[in-house]
Amino acid sequence: MDLIRFYVRKLFTVLKNEVIVLPSRVVVVVFFLFLLLLPVFTNNQYTLRIFTLTCIFAILAASWDLLSGFTGQINFGHALFFGVGAYAAAMSNLHVHLPPWASIPLGGLVAVLAGLIIGIPCLRLRGTYLALTTLAFPIILMGFVFAFPDLTGGELGISGIERIARSRVTNYYIVAGLMFGLCTIMWKITDSNTGIIFHAIREDELAVRASGVNTTRYKLLAFCLSGFFAGIAGGLYAHFMRIAGPSTLEVSMSFLVVIWAVFGGVATIYGPVGAVFILFPLLEFLRFWQEYRTLMFACVLIVILLYMPDGLFPWLRDKIETECPRCKIRNIATRTVCRVCSASLE
């Protein structure tokens, strides 16, 4: 009993002292509650579907950020990991009858393999070379998909695979839970020593190498980690849509990931996640004017970027929070003195 009381009290203290003081943390908590309670407020299958897909793509966008945002290895072919994950999960489910809980991680692992395969030749490439080269990989794989139609189903894809769970709500909770878990893991990775090295590689690879870090290994690690998470997203997508087809490998898919991540703000993890939660429902919301839907979507992108070229979320965060110049602790923008060291924030 005492233990429970202790934890409850601790929760309140944490809430009061660590969460309420910062709007960005409040937003995260509210967002979490929103996801948790969404099925309570609406039982609308369509809404649940949209948010399930949003969660899947949020994992995908965050995994892109992990690779490209943090290490600066711009990957223009992220659809490769997504598609490989989707195809691997679909094939293992259909041919080997692996249940979804096994086939989805398997999809992730196969995507890691894909990450290694493309990572190794790409290690010597830099910047725009890398970006434009990675663009080619999903297209080459698409050639294979069409070359072995018996295995991959050609343009029809692999259909008839199992659902993750029978009901839409369970589906939603599983995917949302995974999204939260995986994004937290990614965020933790970027916060760890490894993450700092990733950061440093983007800023100045030469300096990192000079300080005795094997950057090649870290870059390969970034490819594999990113591939793993993207592959899981692909597996989830295949099991949710119950089809894995060549559309998961299309160039437009790769572009979409980049759009989401850059729109939300790179090297943040929360930026791409938030961007997917804005942009994906936005595209659905625009259905009331369906002929002009994609056009308006493109215009919204351009306009927002003109004003916030660093991405939406870093811009917002800068507006509502300031960093204490002395102790580097973040404060709500309305404060005039730092909440920790009481230095002036003006």
Partner 1 sequence: MALDIIISGLISGSVYALLAIGFSLIFGVARIVNIAHTAFYMVAGYCIYFATHEMGFHPLWGMVAAVILVTLLGMVAYKFLINPIREHEGAVLIATIALAMALQEIMTLIFTGTYLSVPSLIKGYFLILDVKVFYQQLLTFFAALIALGVLWALLMKTRLGLAIRSTAQDREVANLMGINEARVAMITMGISVGLASFTGAIVVPLTILDPLMWMHPLIMMMAVVVLGGLGSLKGSFIGAYILGFAEAIVVFAIPAGAFLKGSVALSIMILVLIIRPEGLFGVTFEEER
Partner 2 sequence: MKKPLVSIIVIVIVIVGVALIYYATRPPEVVPTIKIGVIGPMQYVQGIGHWNGATMAADEINAAGGIQVGEKKMNIELVQADSNEFINITDATNAMERLITNDKVDFIVGGFRTEAVLPMQDIAMENKKIFIGVGAAHNELCLRVAKDYDTYKYFFRGSPFNSSFLGRTSFIHLGTVAAIMKMTLNIPKIKVAIAAEKAMWTEPMIEAAEGVIPKMGMELVGVWRPSPIATDVTAELSAIQRSGAHIIFTVFSSSVGIPFARQAGELKIPAVQVGINVEAQKDGFSQATQEMGNYVATLNTYCRSVEYNELTKPFVDGYVERFGETPTYTADTYTAIKYALAPTIEKAGTLDADALVAILENASYMVPSGKVEYLKDAEGNHLHELRWGPGYLTSLGVQWQDGELKSFWPNKWKAVPEAPEVTYKGIVPYKIPPWVVDAYKQ
Which residues of this protein are in contact with partner 2, per CB under 8 A? 41-42, 44-47, 49-50, 53, 146, 149, 153-157, 159-160, 241-243, 245-247, 252, 281, 283-285, 287-288, 290-291, 293-294, 316, 319-320, 333-334
Q: Which is nearer to partner 2, 26 or 305 (CB)?
A: 26
Binding site partner of 24, from partner 1, partner 2, none, Cβ cut-off 5-8 A by kind: none
In the list partner 2, partner 1, none, the entry touching 344 (Cβ below 5 to 8 angstroms by class) is none
Binding mask 307-346 for partner 1 (x = CB under 8 A): --xxx-----------------------------------
Enumerate residues 6+ apart whose C-beta is below 8 A from 101.
none
User: How far apart are alpha carbons 260 and 258 in whole angstroms?
Assistant: 5
Residue environment code for 323-335, b if the CB has 16+ CB neighbours within 10 A, otherwise e: ebeeeeebbbeee
Of 251-310, binders to partner 1 (CB under 8 A) are 251-252, 255, 258-259, 262-263, 266, 291-292, 294-295, 297-299, 301-302, 305-306, 309-310
Task: Centre a 10 Å sphere on the Cβ of residue 300 and count the other Cβ atoms it contains.
Answer: 16
In the block, residue with structure tokens 């980690």: 225
Q: Which of 60, 205, 208, 223 binds partner 1 (CB under 8 A)?
A: 205
> Residue 132 binds what, of partner 2, partner 1, none (CB under 5 to 8 Å, by partner type)?
partner 1
Minimal distance in Å, beta carbon 316 to partner 2? 7
Does 26 contact partner 1 by CB under 8 A? no
For partner 2, the closer of residues 30 and 132 by Cβ is: 30
**Joined tokens for residue 66:** 């992990």
CA 257 to chain centre: 9
Rounded CA separation 164/35 (Å): 19
Q: For residue 36, list its beta bridge partners.
A: none
31 touches partner 1 (CB under 8 A): no
**Contact partners, residue 119, CB within 8 Å, separation at least 6:** 219, 220, 223, 224
| 14 or 156: CB nearest partner 2 | 156
Binding partner 1 by CB under 8 A: which of 132, 156, 333, 337?
A: 132
Would you say 165 and 44 are in contact if contact means Cβ atoms under 8 Å apart? Answer: no
Report if residue 210 touches partner 1, rule: CB under 8 A: no
Closest distance to partner 1 from the beta carbon of 113 (Å): 17
Alpha helices in the chain (DSSP H): 2-14, 23-41, 45-64, 70-71, 79-95, 100-122, 127-134, 136-147, 149-152, 168-191, 193-203, 205-210, 215-241, 251-264, 270-285, 293-307, 312-320
Write out the two tokens for 26.
């409040």
Question: Does 206 interact with partner 1 (rule: CB under 8 A)?
Answer: yes
Choose which of 128, 170, 214, 336 interacts with partner 1 (CB under 8 A): 128
Asked whether the beta carbons of 274 and 312 are under 8 A apart, the reply is yes
* Binding interface with partner 1 (CB under 8 A): 121, 124-126, 128-129, 131-133, 135-137, 139-140, 142-144, 146-147, 204-206, 251-252, 255, 258-259, 262-263, 266, 291-292, 294-295, 297-299, 301-302, 305-306, 309-311
